[in-house]
């Protein structure tokens, strides 16, 4: 793949990014709350796609973070090709990448520290912190050929698998210590898959060591959701996959239709591989093997099989947007998404910091009739989403694009 040196902004990437960010900012459109209020309804049927899996598995909601991180990787080849055209040196680009990494980690820590906390909460599982921890390495590898990037992806996924396998399986005492804890009901896996249990895996042991070396209000024991700092390592593989996709789309070797078909094909292959790694295998040999899973798909600890499976789904979704915009020319159709995709950091921060405040003010300034009881969860979240979209639209009209 030989990227061309002059590339217009890829509108399909902005549209896809906007779709993902609007999905995130929707807070699930209130569907989970509707399902809880109306058991047995259609809301309960679609709820699983708008909530994170308890541990093992994949839903649409789980694909938000890998999609965003994949697109961060995709944008890097475009960004630095443009910087080279403008004459920026390697050291200038390296300083930009390093400063961006530090700022992203700082923002992630800021968002992890809530108003009720009296001291800084040093947690690095927020998506911004995760991107920041791997971004400088992403920059360095993205400047090399696709062979080096692909080799980096493989080495990361194989090495991270080895890291988990070489951590001892949980003892009976360790399992007893977490028994009954919230979130562990479906997160204790049998047999070999126990290497990827919640709270007893290699990354969890790492966090209990190094996070307690940082100032903490109280000793760190467990992340309630099972998320770990070291997730950034396999997530770096996700970003590097994005860099490969970006380099491929910059290449002039294939037509737009050829590129779209290749994205779809590779995406399907990765989905099949990721699913196969997660399937319980050897069920016909004997009952003792019926719970053996080679490499479970767990988003919360970003298992290598999750990186592969989610990468495949992201490529499939990207191929759809690429076909709609770059081949079908449906630019007006995706305009509402582009408005958000061009300011993705803005909507992420505003949603994280201001969603509750926006919801409160909607109730203050709109008539009570605007919030019928049955539809309340949906209306509240769609109202917040619309306000956030209006802010992004105004910024877009002003040609104000806030970047790190």
Residues 139-190 pLDDT 10s = 999 988 899 999 999 999 999 999 999 999 999 999 999 988 888 888 999 8
pLDDT tens digits along 61-87:
999 999 999 999 999 999 888 888 888
346/212 Cα distance (integer angstroms) = 32
Rounded to an integer, the average pLDDT of 240-254 is 93
Residues with Cβ within 8 Å of residue 125, at least 6 apart in sequence: 112, 223, 227, 228, 229, 231
pTM (two decimals): 0.92
pLDDT tens digits along 109-146:
999 988 888 888 899 999 999 999 999 999 999 988 89
pLDDT at position 253 is 84
pLDDT tens digits along 29-50:
999 999 999 999 999 999 999 9
Q: What is the DSSP string of 298-366?
A: BGGGT-HHHHHHHHHHHHHHHHHHHIIIIIT--TTTTHHHHHHHTTHHHHHHHHHHHHHHHHHHHHHHS
pLDDT at 363 over 50: yes
For residue 172, count CB atoms less than 10 angstroms from its CB and return exposed for 0-12, middle for 13-18, buried for 19 or more.
exposed
CB 380: neighbour CB atoms within 10 A?
21
Residue 292: which pLDDT band, with cuts at 50, 70 and 90?
Answer: low
Phi first, then psi: give them for residue 401, nearest 5 degrees: -120, 110
Helices 127-142, 146-165: crossing angle, 10 deg rounding: 130
Rounded to an integer, the average pLDDT of 220-238 is 95
pLDDT at 285 over 50: no
What is the SS3 string spanning 104-130? HHHHHHHHHCCCCCCCCCCCCCCHHHH
Phi first, then psi: give them for residue 251, nearest 5 degrees: -70, 150
pLDDT, averaged across the chain: 92
Distances in Å between the alpha carbon of 75 and those of 4, 231, 269, 296, 402? 14, 21, 23, 29, 15
pLDDT at position 286 is 47
Query: Comparing C-alpha atoms, which of 40, 220, 27, 23 is closest to residue 125?
Result: 220
Domain ranges of the chain: 58-331
Helices 127-142, 232-250: crossing angle, 10 deg rounding: 50
pLDDT at position 252 is 84
pLDDT at position 119 is 86
Query: Comparing C-alpha atoms, which of 161, 169, 190 is closest to residue 303?
Result: 161
């Amino acid at each position: 793949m030989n990227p061309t040196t002059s590339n217009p902004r890829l509108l399909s990437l902005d549209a896809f990014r906007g779709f993902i960010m609007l999905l995130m900012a929707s807070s699930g459109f209130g569907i989970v709350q509707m399902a809880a209020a109306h058991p047995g309804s259609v809301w309960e049927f679609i709820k699983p796609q708008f909530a994170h899996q308890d541990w093992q598995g994949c839903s649409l909601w789980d694909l938000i973070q890998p999609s965003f991180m994949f697109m961060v990787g995709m944008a890097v080849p475009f960004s630095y090709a443009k910087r080279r055209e403008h004459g920026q040196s390697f050291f200038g680009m390296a300083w930009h990448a390093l400063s961006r990494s530090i700022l992203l980690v700082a923002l992630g820590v800021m968002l992890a520290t809530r108003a009720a906390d009296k001291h800084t909460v040093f947690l690095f599982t927020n998506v911004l912190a995760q991107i920041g921890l791997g971004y400088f390495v992403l920059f360095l590898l993205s400047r090399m050929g696709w062979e080096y990037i692909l080799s980096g992806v493989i080495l990361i996924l194989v090495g991270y698998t080895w890291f988990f396998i070489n951590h001892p399986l949980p003892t009976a005492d360790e399992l007893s210590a977490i028994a009954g804890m919230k979130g562990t009901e479906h997160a204790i896996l049998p047999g070999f898959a126990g290497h990827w249990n919640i709270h007893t895996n290699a990354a969890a042991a790492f966090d209990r060591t190094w996070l307690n070396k940082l100032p903490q209000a109280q000793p760190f024991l467990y992340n309630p959701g099972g998320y770990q700092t070291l997730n950034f390592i396999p997530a770096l593989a996700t970003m590097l996959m994005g860099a490969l996709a970006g380099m491929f789309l910059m290449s002039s070797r294939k037509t737009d239709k050829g590129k779209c078909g290749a994205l779809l094909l590779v995406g399907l292959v990765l989905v099949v591989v990721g699913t196969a790694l997660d399937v319980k295998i050897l069920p016909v040999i004997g009952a003792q093997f019926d719970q053996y899973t080679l490499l479970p798909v767990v988003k919360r600890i970003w298992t290598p099989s999750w990186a592969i499976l989610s990468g495949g789904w992201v490529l499939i979704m990207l191929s759809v947007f690429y076909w709609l915009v770059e081949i079908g020319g449906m630019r007006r159709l995706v305009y509402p998404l582009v408005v958000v995709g061009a300011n993705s950091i803005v909507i992420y921060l505003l949603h994280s910091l201001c969603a509750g405040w926006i919801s409160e003010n909607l109730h203050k300034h709109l008539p009570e009739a605007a919030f019928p009881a049955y539809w309340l969860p949906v209306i509240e979240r769609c109202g917040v989403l619309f306000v956030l979209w209006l802010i992004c639209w105004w910024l877009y009209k002003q040609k104000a694009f806030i970047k790190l």
